[in-house]
């Protein structure tokens, strides 16, 4: 809202955007060290290019890989050399851990590479509450606002290990890619 308040139906338990941003910065710095690696799944420049530089300056982690979200047009266009704030800027990142594919995308998708082999889809965008962050097909919303502690998830402990226990499946009843699973 113009006065900085947030309508109650949209709140994440903060009275203002500044209060929320302060909590985000503090919680990132609490669990992500200077030499750690942080995968940020987008919408980091929602407040505009000036806010982006202020926000990034306060994050102590040097190794941030950004997957651009729908509010990151400043970064995609590299306005004011904003891409230099990150170790990499991507539309998607694919990473293998113990030969299992993990995909990082801003948007949740229903079918992705190696789905039938147990690959894991990590996404943001949806702002799902904790009880709805895991969905069919080893897909997980890793946005911090779905974390009960309102902080980044640990990639191995909270994503890879947890999602590896979820059955391999698809949200589609007629997904021809999964014929051999049936």
> Domain 13-171 belongs to what topology?
Purple Acid Phosphatase; chain A, domain 2 (3.60.21)
What secondary structure, in 3-state letters, does the chain show?
Answer: CCCCECCHHHCCCCCEHHHHHHHHHHHHHHHCCCCCEEEECCCCCCCCHHHHHHHHHHCCCCEEEEECCCCCHHHHCCHHHHHHHCCEEECEEEEEECCEEEEEECCCCCCCCCHHHCCEEEECCCCCCHHHCEECCCEEECCHHHCCCCCCCCHHHHHHHHHCCCCCCCCCCCCHHHCCCC
Q: What mean pLDDT, rounded, does the chain reach?
A: 86
pTM for this prediction:
0.84
Confidence class for position 145, pLDDT limits 50, 70, 90: confident
Confidence class for position 31, pLDDT limits 50, 70, 90: very high
Express each pLDDT in 70-122 by its tens digit: 999 999 999 999 999 999 999 999 999 999 999 999 999 988 999 889 999 99
Query: What are the domain boundaries of the chain?
Result: 13-171
């Amino acid at each position: 809202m113009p006065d900085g308040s947030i309508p109650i139906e949209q709140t994440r338990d903060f009275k203002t955007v500044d209060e929320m941003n302060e909590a985000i910065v503090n919680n990132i710095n609490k669990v992500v060290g200077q030499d750690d690696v942080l995968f940020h799944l987008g919408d980091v420049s929602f407040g505009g290019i000036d806010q982006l530089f202020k926000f990034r300056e306060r994050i102590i982690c040097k190794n941030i890989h950004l997957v651009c979200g729908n509010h990151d047009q400043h970064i995609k266009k590299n306005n004011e050399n904003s891409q230099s704030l990150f170790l990499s800027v991507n539309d998607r990142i694919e990473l293998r851990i113990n030969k299992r594919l993990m995909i990082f995308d801003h948007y949740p998708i229903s079918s992705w590479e190696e789905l039938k082999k147990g690959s894991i889809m990590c996404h943001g965008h949806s702002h799902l509450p904790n009880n709805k962050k895991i969905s069919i097909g080893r897909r997980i919303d890793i946005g911090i606002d779905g974390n009960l502690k309102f902080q980044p998830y640990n990639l191995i402990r909270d994503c890879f290990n947890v999602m590896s226990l979820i059955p391999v499946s698809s949200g589609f009843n007629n997904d021809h890619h999964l014929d051999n699973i049936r």
